[in-house]
Chains A and B, each alone.
With several copies, the nearest count.
Chain A
């Protein structure tokens, strides 16, 4: 692939990530009202308790996504600058892994409270994503070493 096309693609992904970050903030800011409206439409029963439960779950989830998206932004920023082999990206991958595992636990809690197919699929995806990121971080750490070695071989 041409280097130019690759840069354009990285910029495009970075743009999507920033758009998702912004959407996350907007959704979180409007959540108290949106959730109330959604529950009044779809939910019957003890609304107060479920409202509190969903508020906590969704805010933790929203903040975790903010955190993960921001780390992804850091990674794609470096890719865009053609310099992805930096230790900061290894850190980013490790952080994404931890945040994904916490997200997985949040979904696990939600599964016990209110189960749904989508929750279980999400739980599994975040679990796998977390493991992937640990492995990718280690692979990346080695790549950074090779890169540094390469840079000092004149």
Chain B
């Protein structure tokens, strides 16, 4: 997948753990892990909003496009 989730980097920058973040954004630990490990197929705007709010960042900080599939 050419969309990379840099959620772990942002979490490290803000010094926030998986448990704390999942509690704050109100989704289960298991689901947040799926997202963090790039196993998710899609992301809800509500989740993205909650993450941006809690990590005080922009969607661009956690979502990155790399065209590694080309040539």
Q: Which residues of A does B touch, CB under 8 Å?
A: 149, 152-154
Most chain B CB atoms below 10 A, which of A149, A153, A154: A154
Report the number of A-B residue pairs with Cβ-Cβ less than 8 Å. 22
Tally chain B residues at the interface, Cβ within 8 Å: 12
Complex: A154 Cα to B51 Cα, angstroms:
11
A sample of 22 inter-chain contacts (CB < 8 A) reads A149-B41, A149-B42, A152-B34, A152-B39, A152-B40, A152-B41, A152-B42, A153-B40, A153-B41, A153-B42, A153-B43, A153-B44, A154-B27, A154-B31, A154-B32, A154-B34, A154-B35, A154-B40, A154-B42, A154-B43, A154-B44, A154-B47
Shortest CB–CB separation between residue B18 and chain A, in angstroms? 13
| A149 closest partner in B (C-beta) | B41
* Contacting residues, chain B, for A154 (C-beta < 8 A): 27, 31-32, 34-35, 40, 42-44, 47
Complex: A18 Cα to B40 Cα, angstroms:
39
| A153 closest partner in B (C-beta) | B42
Shortest CB–CB separation between residue A149 and chain B, in angstroms? 7
Q: Which residues of B does A touch, CB under 8 Å?
A: 27, 31-32, 34-35, 39-44, 47
Complex: A153 Cα to B40 Cα, angstroms:
6
| B42 closest partner in A (C-beta) | A153
Complex: A149 Cα to B42 Cα, angstroms:
8
* Contacting residues, chain A, for B31 (C-beta < 8 A): 154
* Contacting residues, chain A, for B34 (C-beta < 8 A): 152, 154
